[in-house]
Amino acid sequence: MTNPPVVSLALDNQLCFKLYAASRAVTRAYKPMLDPLGLTYPQYLVMLVLWEWHDAPPAQPTVKALGDRLMLDSGTLTPLLKRLEQLAWVQRRRSTRDEREVHLSLSEAGVHLRERTYRMKTRLLCDSGIDLNQADDLRDGLDQLLGQIRALSSSAPTDPAGH
């Protein structure tokens, strides 16, 4: 087996590192916008989905459906949802048909929070000088990459040795 060229392992040549660094930078950029609202970035992502669902409710607005949408497990979501419920923005209710299902909805305050967030996000975009067309192209490219990686990982063997 030959050794790969050293340049292929250089940190700055790694797409995974660029994605990681960009993700952290975006999260940091949102922090000053979210702090006055008492939201963390992951809580903000939960609220984005719940605002979507408020406008176009899914058949089952459950924690499981939210986890699927955000690609997070219920162990990660539960503390986020508890905090959002304490802030009186989210309501959780056990299903009467199946008590393992927890249904989610926005409170009135949670619905109104979207307006405040929208104004702040608009200001963040304007202040950043981001070219919106480039941002749209990047988002579309990342959607495609994510789809390919998810398809690859769902067809990958479950045996770590690859057998």
What pLDDT score does 161 carry? 54
Q: What is the rounded CA–CA span in Å between residue 39 and residue 111?
A: 15
CATH number of this structure's domain 36-120, picked from the four choices 3.40.50.300, 3.40.50.1370, 1.10.3720.10, 1.10.10.10: 1.10.10.10
Q: What is the rounded CA–CA span in Å between residue 65 and residue 50?
A: 11
**In the chain, domain spans:** 36-120
Q: H/E/C letters for each residue in 55-84?
A: HCCCCCCEHHHHHHHHCCCHHHHHHHHHHH
What pLDDT score does 85 carry? 97
- Average pLDDT of every residue of the chain: 88
Q: What pTM did the predictor assign? A: 0.84
Look-up of token digits 């990686």:
149
Residue 156 has pLDDT above 70, yes or no: no
Q: Which pLDDT tens digit goes with each residue over 6-26?
A: 778 899 999 999 999 999 998
Q: Is 110 exposed, middle or buried (0-12, 13-18, 19+ CB in 10 A)?
A: buried
The vertex-72 CA angle with 31 and 137, nearest 5°, equals 65
